[in-house]
Structure 1
Amino acid sequence: MKRKATLALMIGLGALVPVAYVHGQDENTMIEAPSDVAAVPDDAQKTDSGLASKVLTKGTGNEKPAAADEVTVHYSGWTTDGKLFDSSVKRGQPATFPLNGVIKGWTEGLQLMTVGEKRRFWIPADLAYGENPGGGRPGGLLVFDVELLDIKAAPKPPEDVAEVPAEAKKTESGLAYRILKSGEGDSKPAAHDIAEMHFSMWSKDGQLLESSQSHGRPLNAPINTLPFEGLQEALTLMTPGEQSRFWIPQALTFGENIPPGAPEGHLVFDIELISFKEAPEPPKVPEDVAAIPDSATKTASGLASRVLEKGTGDTNPKATDTVSVHYSGWTLDGKMFDSSVSRGEPTSFPLNGVIPGWTEGVQLMTVGEKRRFWIPADLAYGENPGGGRPGGMLVFDIELLEIK
């Protein structure tokens, strides 16, 4: 099971490193494909959506999860030819996730289950990843065996989620808020500082879209890399220890370009600012961010780059190597969407586990080198990727620190 890219993951509990989906599995653990993996059997139950399932082991209670709840499960997934493509059982570690942050077939199907229950699902393509999804994801009808281990209830929506209350304060931008619990002192973070916070986010109709509590850890990120202008402004109004509720108008979230599946109207955030850490000023927007300059070199794939600072050696990493880098990324209009420099913390990753533009581009570099890349959409996230990921051509400044 892979989580889909949803609004829930926009806030991303961590950096937006362009990582591909990779699973590590213990090859010594054998899991047999179900005998009825090839087609939906006659004894399976079907819902109106086309989801089919049958109970393998009954559960021990009556409680079923809601779509916004967090669940813990063990699961294995097969294509209809019996190929196992993912398994928490094989990894020996159950998976925990918000139920509204996965494919539709899982969101619907697990709401039928009780704790302790094991159920087999036949999930049609339109409730999974589609017929030909690409990116290493399996297409067509998928079969999952799922055991529901635990349910953690989602935070309840505020009573005043639908409308901004009269007593709320407003800023010049239209951001509305009220303090639920006062903080300590009068120090407030700057937009480039790193904030540690707990938060829950609802649509105006009370649907929980994301919650750091569901992940069991606070969000820790530079404020200016968070996706919503209104959210960034909100945090700069707070002091450590403060808990406040914010009504962020659509003009300060998606504006007029609402991505598919995103809610219209204002969003409501309950935020607790735990602490903040002063951070260095963010990197300046490159002067040539808007278009590939004549001085850049291009590869056959369309990747363009130019060296900003030469490296100190002559060894280039291979696609199978793990590298450590500092980086900053901008869209063509100069908006920085992520930066390890702003976080003051370099990033390490396997080079074959990131977007194609990074896999190809970093192999051109030597340790100590700084290079600017113009990565076309087909080597990044595509033109309209959704899920908070930036679309179109992207510009990255990358410094290669180490090859491991």
Structure 2
Amino acid sequence: MSELQALLTPDGLELLDGLGPIESTAEVARAVSRLRAAGHSPDLVSAVVGQAHLRTKATAKFGAFAARMLFTRAGLEQATRLGVAVRHAQRMRRAGITSVADLGCGIGGDALAFAGAGLDVLAVDADEVTAAIAAYNLAPFGPVDGEGTGAVVRHSTAEEADLSTSGAVWMDPARRTSGHSETRRVSADDYSPSLDWAFDLAARVPTGIKLGPAHDRDALPDDAEAQWVSADGSVVELVVWTGALARSGVRRAALVMRGDKSHELTAGADAEDASTRELGAFLHEPDGAVIRARLIGDVARSLDAGMLDPRIAYLTSDAAVTSPFVQTFRVRETMAANPKAISAVLKSEGIGTLEIKKRGVDIDPAAFRKKLTLRGDRSATLILARIGDQRRAILADRVPPAA
């Protein structure tokens, strides 16, 4: 808190804005030495240099906006990417929402998008420092001279927030565990406020609840829309939408965002898997959001493709296809998944650069790579997968996605 107090002064903010981007640890050390030599206090130097470094990191999520924002390390890690937050705000507007309470606003990533879309925002966070940072970040959208509407930040728990003037709620419950992954199942006990409280509120008020993408699907409300979102190849969130924010007839959705383009697949329920078939000329890896939403079968049928194995999320076809929902590989050769057989093929193909992917096999790609002979100036992808009761290796080339 002392560092934040030192920073949130005219002199502190002026010093920060004049420091410019700081990327490396060496640049951090040089900046600290320079500012300390100029007579600035240790607290101020630590705060200013730390914020300059975080602003540089935040550019990946917030673009040019990062240059005027403040962050905490945890807040930046957990914050919604601005492009994804804009999609949340667009949904609010399409549903006719004019005011929203952001409960657990963090540093204000989603609240910024809501305010930027013209919504009145009540942003709430239980952590005093985080709430102060959110207030700074949302200041350009605050009431003028203390009057009118706009973005207002309160230091409060979600449960104590006054929702009487809010037409909808957005929640990003804090995860009690450090970070979240695409593979670990996340349960109700991992969140604060409790998901029982959150889901109860969502049953009464139009709500969007941001959860870890690996959240237990069986614990989701039956009458809500569950939307998995991937951004540039990574599944970044699961959002549970209720009330007017849930689309009619949609219970499962996969939103795939790449750069400034987005594509979405929706359904009223989990899709039935496609039938299996022998490996063809092409192998297709569904986007992680499609896999999480269990819409692989719908994608397979749209591509006239089949499942490589009923337990493995790989598709195959004989015809070249382009789809935003899969990454396609042109098959070169298949072989037994043992280093000796694979190395022989790599040598004959002159492969020196190899991407290794795996699914359904207990293999550590990094350790496996050390067993392979890589020589040459060509590159390829090696896909290790269980097909039936056999472990197979598929040497393939990525097919560039459609423009």
TM-score when scaled to structure 1?
Answer: 0.26
Structure ID, larger Rg: 2
| Higher RCO (Cα < 8 Å, 6 or more apart) | 1
Higher helix proportion (structure 1 or 2): 2
TM-score when scaled to structure 2?
Answer: 0.26
